[in-house]
Structure 1
């Protein structure tokens, strides 16, 4: 075989060998690239890591992971908002639950103590993810914060609707219920504006009274029941009522002197100890001389909404409806 033929055969063999290596699996001098993750896999991985938001509230700032699973609630307004939004909770104070939240007495919910004295041991043992409180449990904030992220969600009576809406929006963000929260707020806001227009058009005034056993207290604008004046549109029968947590002590003579067109009554005993004294105390010979009595405008408010809870999607809706139904 001639030298030229040998060289030619060698060159062909080298070319064939090189081509075979080039068409291989990529193992060798180059590292194979990993397959790109599917959109579904990426979304699942993202969802597995809880997001975190910072909630600013009256007592400070608290970092809260979204969609917490073990939640303790020490405010019945917040509890009824969560119930309306379809969010489950772990524990509540069961002793003084409003009747419309009676389902939370079930044994599947942990009894977290009372509104004023949370059961720290039970909450800690349950490994809570989030604790929500308001004014009644305010003194326990520091201790509860050592157990789990704790946020204050009381309603500011000086700007009731604004703070109520802010609380609901925050709950929506925490539990991934933003759209539902906005929908519920819009519904209540619309009903409240209709009530305001209706009440304002009457030109009538009102007096709000809390009955506690035989004692009477009056509440005006900016107070815990001041939404009747500040939002619902009723003028005050007395514009000088002092703003305080427990109201201004008054007498039957005072009610007659102010002679309200509407008298709204909150009967504390009906929901606290089951001893209702509201009608017995209010409808006496002096009060019967007022315009409110003469025109059938003494309204006994549902103390479940007005005294025990308030500030929630269910309770505020009920408050608006009851007052709206009373306006003639």
Structure 2
């Protein structure tokens, strides 16, 4: 939690300094050659270009291509035509009122709060894992925003347009989420809007941390066609523990993007007071039998089942669109609504 407070405070200070700068008298000076995305120097509410934008993480590990290293990108002018593969970043652009999205992976399951982007005026540029390179080239975007699922295509996408990596990191989820918001806000002159939206998190996080204190143990799992995987603190859903404040029932779970294989018997053995279940099957657009599969004779013996503390979490929201201003707040609100 301390890490989040520091990052959030730094971002807020950056945005406050930007707003204050709008009241100062304009001075004539030589224009800067570059401005980094983490730089506080902006004029009023507008973005200053040229601007050099850094990736939210320096590299990513992929099964297909090993380690992918991401580069800083310098833009001479603000991008007008945007292709975005990460639903979380699309969520943030939408929340900030950024215009110019021309293409997105419509062939994957769009989260319900982003359904407006299924309209015909937005070109489908593939799925979250398989970009349609020719279709992307045809719309001729000024920038392509990607995250981990598209990392294996990084070099190919760079041949079409500048590519900015805006994905979250498993090891530092919350701070990389905040970094992606910072990137969107500064690139498109939306610092004030970002500051206003982030302020909503203060009370929400305070409330969920207080709620989490009522439980001594918890476990985050993911359901996928009858199978389960578990997540510990150092995983993609570790923020449930270190940001929300729920106490993990065990730290003996292998860190993996899809979690460690976790049988129903293991859940009964650990017997958490709260069991969170993310429905990956629903997120992939397939029919889900999550409740029938989960509430079997083994799970019915757990404290979580007996006390009605099995929390079924929205699959598309948690699995596909995390890392966005709206989606991260919606996650907190969903947990609060289920456990109050």
TM-score (norm 2): 0.79
1:49 to partner: Cα distance:
11
CA positional deviation for 1:165 = 1.0
Contact 1:220/1:226 (8 A) holds in 2? yes
Match of 1:51 in 2: 49
Q: In the alignment, what sits opposite 1:86?
A: 97
**How far does residue 238 in structure 1 lie from its aligned partner after superposition?**
1.4
For 2:274 and 2:51, the matched residues in 1 are separated by: 45
SS at match of 1:155: coil
Q: How big is the shift at 1:246?
A: 1.9
Retained in 2: the 8 A contact 1:267–1:277? no
Partner of 1:289: 301
Cα gap change, 1:95 to 1:189, in 2 (>3 Å): farther
**Residue in structure 2 matched with residue 317 of structure 1 by the alignment:** 329
The whole-number CA distance in structure 2 between the counterparts of 1:238 and 1:284 is: 22
Q: Does 1:73 align with 2:88?
A: no
Bigger Rg, structure 1 or 2: 1
Residue equivalent to 1:42: none
Long gaps (5+) in structure 1 = 1-38, 40-45
Kept in 1: contact 2:228–2:263 (CA 8 A): yes
Distance (whole Å) between structure 1 residues aligned to residue 159 and residue 74 of structure 2: 13
1:130 aligns with 2:137: no
Q: Say if 1:150 and 1:92 are closer, same or farther in 2 by CA, change over 3 A.
A: same
Question: Per the alignment, in what secondary structure is the counterpart of residue 140 of structure 1?
Answer: helix
Q: Could you tell me whether the CA contact under 8 Å between 1:66 and 1:173 is conserved in 2?
A: no
**SS at 1:264 equivalent:** strand
Q: Tell me, in whole angstroms, the C-alpha distance in 2 between the residues paired with 1:49 and 1:74.
A: 23
Aligned partners of 1:49 and 1:225: how far apart in 2?
A: 33
Which of residues 216, 239, 262 is equivalent to 2:228? 216
Q: Are the counterparts in 2 of residues 65 and 174 from structure 1 also a CA contact under 8 Å?
A: no
Structure-1-length-normalised TM-score:
0.82
Aligned-residue offset at 1:190: 3.4
Q: Distance in 1 between matches of 2:178 and 2:113?
A: 21
Q: 1:203 to 1:213 in 2, by over 3 A?
A: closer
Q: Which residue of 1 aligns with 2:5?
A: none
The alpha carbon displacement at 1:222 in A equals: 2.0
- Work out whether residues 54 and 61 of structure 1, in 8 Å CA contact, stay in contact via their aligned partners in 2: yes
Counterpart in the other structure of 2:18 = none
For 1:153 and 1:94, locate their aligned partners in 2 and report how far apart those are by CA, in whole Å: 19
| Separation of aligned partners in 1, 2:47 and 2:328 | 35
C-alpha deviation, 1:193, in angstroms: 2.9
8 A Cα contact 2:215 2:274, kept in partner: no
- Cα offset, 1:50, TM superposition: 7.0
1:181 aligns with 2:194: yes
What's the secondary structure of 2:84's corresponding residue? strand
Do the aligned partners of residues 190 and 210 (structure 1) sit closer, same or farther apart at CA in structure 2, a change above 3 Å counting? same
1:257 matches 2:269:
yes
CA displacement at 1:66 relative to structure 2: 4.9
Correspondence 1:226 to 2:248: no
Q: Residues 66 and 233 (structure 1 numbering): CA distance in 2 closer, same or farther, change over 3 Å?
A: farther
1:90 is paired with a residue whose SS is: strand
CA distance in 1, matches of 2:76, 2:185: 13
Aligned residues: 283
Say which SS state the counterpart of residue 217 (structure 1) adopts.
Answer: strand
What is the root-mean-square deviation in Å for CA atoms of aligned residues? 2.0
Q: Equivalents in 2 of 1:325, 1:289: separation in Å?
A: 24
In 1, Cα distance between equivalents of 2:277 and 2:76: 41
The question of 1:149 aligning with 2:192 is answered no
